[in-house]
Amino acid sequence: MVAAETTQRAIWKPLWQLPRRGELILSLAKRELLVRYKGSALGLLWALLTPAVMIAIFTFIFAGIFGARFGANSSPWDYALYLFCGLLPWTMFSETLQQSAGTIVSHANLVKRVVFPLETLPVAQALAAVANQLFATVALIIATLIIRHSLPPTVILFPLLLVPQLLFALGAAWLIASLGVFLRDITQGISLFLMVWMYLTPIIYPESIVPDRFRTLINFNPFTSLVRSYRHIFLDGGMPDWSGLTYFAGISIVLFLFGYWWFARTRKNFADVI
């Protein structure tokens, strides 16, 4: 019994120590960003250019050709804003998972160093993705001011959405980082999984067009409420979807704890596999 309790404390101890490793995590996140854009002519502008191209394509196809609208009187420019807003949290999450899938393997030289806190590597990936999202958020605010000539005061509630979103991404990052050690083809699987998940989330289409028989499935998706809340505070000037955000926050906490627990329990086998 005593040994089991000692083991459990040893598993959770690094999690409580994460705040004290803030300097290391920020350094890793900064290095990740620099390495990602090193040698490119546009640098960090790629973080804005990539979603901009995606927004242009989706706006042309769905708003231009199919006439999709987020509201009865909205224009294609409004569609682009709603699409951009929905892509903000989704792009951060998908980027975190894709980068985390191979982060342990790519740092194989650190795995055999017993004293190195491996749990910081997925955290750094998540923070690097958050940095990209903040850069894109500034672009969204500027675009909203240009198109609508005003900005809702509810944008100050943005941190209330970012905190559970970060917890969700961290839990998923730890889980995927661990699985990436044992399943080397998980990167391809993650790409397919994320593509399906994105189309099951009302990002490129409004919730209003979802048939009633699929509403339960769409609402069960935790990212639905997060995207909805983003659009409420950034574009509609309304409060977040509190009930949906509570649901998302609950799932985020569970995933955060489970993802870390899984990573901590499996990390002792990383050196043997790598």
**pLDDT per residue as tens digits for the range 138-162:** 888 988 898 888 999 999 999 999 9
- Euclidean distance between the first and the last CA atom of the chain, given in angstroms as a whole number: 32
Tell me the DSSP string of 210-224. S-HHHHHHHHHSHHH
pLDDT of 6 reads: 59
Rounded Cα–Cα distance for residues 64 and 57 (Å):
10
| pLDDT tens-place string over residues 242-269 | 999 999 999 999 999 999 999 999 998 8
Tell me what the mean pLDDT of segment 196-220 comes to: 91
Check pLDDT > 60 for residue 202.
yes
Whether 249 and 83 have beta carbons less than 8 Å apart is answered as no
Q: Quick one: average pLDDT of 15-40? A: 85
Lowest mean pLDDT among 70-79, 170-179, 231-240: 70-79
Cα distances (Å, whole numbers) of residue 88 to 4, 82, 92, 180, 252? 42, 10, 6, 25, 17
Nearest to 262 by CA among 171, 126, 187, 185: 171
Q: What is the pLDDT of residue 159?
A: 96
Pair 108, 188: CB distance under 8 Å: no
pLDDT exceeding 70 applies to what percent of the chain?
Answer: 91
- pLDDT above 70 for 30: yes
The tens digit of pLDDT for each residue in 66-106 reads 677 777 667 788 888 898 899 999 999 999 999 999 999 88
Residue among 126, 131, 128 at smallest CA distance from 169: 126
- Residue 214: is its pLDDT beyond 70? yes
Provide mean pLDDT across the span 9-28.
Answer: 89
Identify the pLDDT of residue 268.
Answer: 87
- Greater confidence, 1 or 240? 240
Residues 6+ apart with CB under 8 A from 89: 133, 161, 165, 223, 226, 227, 230
pLDDT value, residue 36 = 74
Higher pLDDT, 108 or 40: 108
At 139 the pLDDT is 86
**What is the pLDDT at residue 2?**
47
d(CA 172, CA 89): 14
Please state, in angstroms and rounded to a whole number, the distance separating the CA atoms of residues 176 and 105.
12
Please give the pLDDT value at position 43. 63
